[in-house]
Structures are given as C-alpha cells and as structure tokens.
Chains A and B, each alone.
Chain A
Amino acid sequence: MPDPITQIIQLVTSTYFLEIVVFPGLISIAILGAFFTWFERKLTARVQLRIGPSYSSPAGGILQGFADIIKLLFKELIIPEGADRFFFIMSPVTALIIGAALLGLIPFAPGVQIANVEVGLPAFLAIVTLSPTLVLLAGWSANSKFPFIGGLRALFQQTAYEIPLWLSALGVVMITGTLNLTGIVQFQQNNGWLILPQALGALLFIVTSTAEMERLPFDLPEAESEIMMGWQAEYPGPLFMLVQGPAFIKLYAFAALFSTLYLGGYLGPAIIPPIVWFFLKTIVIIVAVMLFRSTFPRVRLDQLLRQGWTTLLTLSIVNIVIAYFIVVGVPAI
C-alpha cells in the first residue's frame, strides 16, 4: 500500500490532472488570456489609430496583461455597503467553474480531451446557459443601480439569442447525426468541413455566440459608456480579475466550439500537428470576434430583442430547412 504522499504525487502528475490544470486547462488559458488582453487592446488601438499599451516590456507592451493581473491581485478588497456577500463573491467563482467545465468538453486533438461526453454539444450549450443567471445574481447582490440594470439586461438579452443559438447548432446535429463533438469532427474528416453546407448556420452561430459572450456589439450588460461596466461596476480588484477570467474563457471556448463544429476542429494537412491546426483556427475566430468590437456599434436592448425573435429566429429556421434538404436530398419538382 503506497503512502498518501506518493498517491498525491501520482495524482498530480497523472495525465488527467495535467490536462485539467496545465494544458488545455487553466494555466494555459490564464497565459493565453493575459496575452490576448494585450492583443485585443493593441488591435483596437490600431483600428482607432492609437498606439495602445507600450510601456510594460520592450516588445510593444506584450507583458501588459500580466502586469494587470499582478496589479489587480494586490488591490484592496472592498465590498460595497448592503451587498449580499455570499452571492457577490460566489458569482465570479461559479462563473470560473462554468468556464472550466466548457473547456473540458472541447476536443483539442485526437485524445486530448478532458471529458469525451456522448452529448457534448448540448452539454456545452446547457452549461453556458447558466452564465446570464450568474450575471443577474452578481448584479443583484451588489446593491447598486448600475450592476442591477446590467444584470437585468443580461437576463433579457438571453431570451433574444438563446433559441437561435441552439437552432443554429441543430443544423450541425441534423447533418452529422451525432451530439458528440469528437464524432462531429470525425464526420467532417470524411465529408469535408461543415462551414460550406452550413454557411448560414455558421454565421448565425457566431452572431449569437457573440451575444452569449457579452461582447460588442452585444455587450449590453456591461456597456461601459452607458452603465459603467454594468454588473461588474462594484467588483474590487481581485474579484474584478476573477470576473474577467470567465469572460475570456467563454470567448476562447466558443471560438474552439465554432472551429470544432464548422471548421473541422483539429483536422488539417499533416505537415502541422493537429493541435496546432486547432489553435490556428481558434485564434482566427478569436481575432474575428475582437474585430467586431472595433467595427460595430452597440445595439439597443429593444432592437436586440425584436431582431432576435424575428430575424435571427427566422434565419435559424431557414437554416434548419437547408440542413433538412441536405440530409434527405432536394426533392425533384
């Protein structure tokens, strides 16, 4: 019988644990998150003819994200008067757990997947559904006006994009006949990338998932220029860092899901290993979503609700019809 210390060392160095903690898990996400925060600021600056962060290292401020993490980590923890302490602290923590659960479902390469669930696609979408509820809870618990308005906006916004998001993913399920994410990639290995037959679905998916990520043009819950970061307004430094973490994880997880569903995931010519293909595709999607931020103005809440329930829903039903005809064949008239 091995002693407990040996058991702990065995657990910590097991492949399973390493996948969760190091790669593709939390540490690599934290480093990527710090890097992409810098990249997004630099990209937005270039679009707006500014310079962007440039002081924190010789190479154009590339360490800015890490500097921000250290700065935020050592700030004072102020919880506003009358706030519900439990929900105020637990909402970002729970959001981080939800983000980690999302990453566990993505097949990064053949065999590099934390949980190969048979119902991976609906599980991903169901887990991500929880996050607007957490936003509402965080906004309510702060006992302040701007966070509460932000939380309510998250709640209403969810009703607009949630159904088109599910229905755009439905087209992929109809064509592949599986809910397993690895199965969807294997289908694309034999039949080509799904972005060609599902172009409309891919467009709908990226629009609705941008709304799900609460990024511009759909960042109503945290609109800086309207309601001062919305539901994040009252969060002090360390907790603000915890709030920003899940936001990036969601961006990353949705980009990974998009490349899995429509761009063939880890598939690609064998010159480059599969995992590099996967990261290349994911990074392209992340950069595209970042460019949305500097391209589109923010929508109004009533416009978003109206368009979500009319245009997006109609287009996603059209997409289902297209997927149906792809599966059964166009009937001869």
Chain B
Amino acid sequence: MVSQGIPEETGYIIFLFAATLALVITLRLVISPRDPRPTPEKKAPFESGQIASGPGRTRFIIQYYPYILMFVVYDVIAMFLFAWALDLRALGASGTVPVLTFMVVALVPLAYALHLAGQRENW
C-alpha cells in the first residue's frame, strides 16, 4: 500500500499507541501473577463448587440430531436461491417457474422430516 500523505503527527500518534501497547504487554508478562506449582484444585474443571467427576466431554444431545441432518441439506438449498435472486429481473418467468418447482419439491420432504423430528419416541 502506498502512503497517501498522512501527516507526520498521525504517524507519531500511532507510534505512541504501539509503544503503549508494547508497554502493556511487557507489564502483563512481568507483573501478572504466575503460579509455578498449581494445586490440582486450581486446574480442576469448574463444576459449581463440587469436586469434578467423570469425563469432561459428556454425551451428545441426540434428540436434536435430525435437525442437524435437515440443516446439512437445506442450508445448501438456501444458497442456490441467491443465484436466482440476483438475476430475478433478467430471468423472468423462465427462471422463476423451475425455482418454484424446486422449492416445492424441497419443502415437501422438509415437512415430513419435521414431522419425524417431532416424534420423541423415535429417539
């Protein structure tokens, strides 16, 4: 990038700012507390004051998994609509009819998938 005639004072202010930032980082490295031998309690994961038990990475919430499957498919379909929307005026009916058909074809399975996702006993 070529300099576009920024006055010297501005450069000076930026230099001051960078110097302050460097000073703060140095201060942080020097004076902020450091514990060379932390106790196990200090490094234990937070569990509302209880002693942490069991693995931290617990189980997946499986009952909402169908929504993720639906998302993987329909997010891409939503992207396709942008290409249609951009040239809407130029395309006219010849572009709109296939897109409407596409949306109807896409939404019928969506309704069925939503129906299935609502049935908790499947999960």
A163/B68 contact (C-beta < 8 A), A13-B10, A310-B114 known: no
A305 near B45 with CB under 8 A, answer no
B67 near A76: Cβ-Cβ < 8 Å? no
B interface residues with partner A (beta carbon < 8 Å): 1-4, 6, 10-11, 14, 17, 24, 27-28, 31-35, 38, 40, 42-48, 52, 54, 56-58, 60-61, 63-64, 67-68, 70-71, 74-75, 78-79, 81-82, 85-89, 92, 96, 103, 107, 110, 114, 117-118
Nearest A-chain residue to B35, judged by Cβ: A76
Cα distance, A14 to B5, chains bound together (Å)? 8
Q: Tell me whether A81 and B45 are in contact (CB under 8 A).
A: yes
With an 8 A cutoff between CB atoms, is A55 at the interface?
no
CB atoms of B61 and A145 under 8 A apart: no
Query: In the complex, A13 Cα to B6 Cα: how many Å?
Result: 6
Cβ contact within 8 Å between B70 and A145: no
Do A143 and B56 touch (CB < 8 A)?
A: yes
Task: Tell me the nearest residue of chain B to A309, going by C-beta.
Answer: B114
B118 adjacent to A306 (CB under 8 Å): yes
What are the 3 closest A-B residue pairs judged by CB atoms, nearest first? A144-B45, A159-B71, A143-B56
- The chain A residue with its CB closest to the CB of B68 is A159
> Is there contact, CB below 8 Å, between A9 and B24?
no
Which residues of B sit under 8 angstroms from A12, Cβ to Cβ? 11, 14
A74 to B40, CA, bound (A): 22
Please indicate the chain B residues that have their CB under 8 angstroms from the CB of A82 in the complex. 45, 56
CB nearest neighbor in A for B15: A12
Query: Closest residue to B18 on the A side, CB-wise?
Result: A12
Known A144-B45, A174-B85, A174-B88; contact A156-B28, beta-carbon cutoff 8 A? no
Interface 1/0 per residue, A220-241 and B, CB below 8 Å: 0000000010000110001000
Q: Known contacts A156-B61, A174-B88; can you find 11 more A-B pairs with CB under 8 A?
A: A13-B3, A75-B33, A77-B32, A77-B34, A149-B61, A152-B60, A160-B67, A163-B78, A170-B85, A179-B82, A317-B107
Contacts of A80 in B (CB 8 A): 43-46
Q: A153–B52 Cα gap in the complex (Å)?
A: 21
Given A17-B1, A81-B43, A156-B64, the answer on whether A166 and B78 have CB atoms closer than 8 Å is yes
A144 near B64 with CB under 8 A, answer no
**A14 B4 Cβ-Cβ under 8 A:** yes
- Closest-by-CB residue of B relative to A143 is B56
B45 touches A167 (CB 8 A): no
A233 to B46, CA, bound (A): 7
Q: Which residues of chain B are near A76, meaning CB under 8 Å?
A: 32-35
Q: Which residues of A contact B58 (CB under 8 A)?
A: 145, 148-149
